[in-house]
Amino acid sequence: MSDKVDGKTASPYGYPFWDWVAKEDPEYVRARGPLTQLSVGEGKELSIKHREMVIIGILAYCGREEGVITHMRRAIQHGATKRELLEAIESAALPGGGPTFSTGVQALMQLDRGGAFKK
């Protein structure tokens, strides 16, 4: 069960550490909420799918496979295809190098094996 701040979950992605922060410092989580909404919420020029792909590339560069998977799931919920996600990782690999590519592809493979993409 997620901790809530002002009736909302602490993280739109379900990261457990945000639940802990919400319990320890709900004021911080409340203050961060508007920035999160501006960054990954609805109603912007770039679609959520495309903003998630930017986040995926950065997380892959940082070697954060768990984060890549989480953000790929949200991108899929907003219409991203397996091919689009692969191309996003391929694009991130140019400036980010082999480790970026490896992290992204391994995350994508895990989602594919888990049935994230409907046939």
Task: Residue 89: give its domain's CATH number.
Answer: 1.20.1290.10
Asked if the structure places residue 66 within a domain, the reply is yes
Asked if the structure places residue 119 within a domain, the reply is no
The whole-model pTM stands at: 0.81
Answer for the pair 89, 55: CB distance below 8 angstroms, yes or no.
no
Asked if the structure places residue 77 within a domain, the reply is yes
- Regarding whether 101 and 61 lie in a shared domain, the answer is yes
What is the domain count for the chain? 2
pLDDT digits (tens), the chain, 119 positions: 344 555 556 666 777 888 889 899 999 988 988 888 888 888 888 999 999 999 999 999 999 999 999 999 999 999 999 999 999 999 999 999 999 999 999 999 999 999 999 86
- Regarding whether 52 and 24 lie in a shared domain, the answer is no
Q: How many CB atoms are closer than 10 A to CB 80?
A: 23
> E strand or H helix at 5, and its extent?
strand 4-5
Answer for the pair 56, 85: CB distance below 8 angstroms, yes or no.
yes
- Regarding whether 79 and 30 lie in a shared domain, the answer is no
The domain in which residue 28 lies consists of 4-40
CA distance 34 to 53: 21
Answer for the pair 9, 17: CB distance below 8 angstroms, yes or no.
no
- Regarding whether 54 and 34 lie in a shared domain, the answer is no
- Regarding whether 74 and 107 lie in a shared domain, the answer is yes
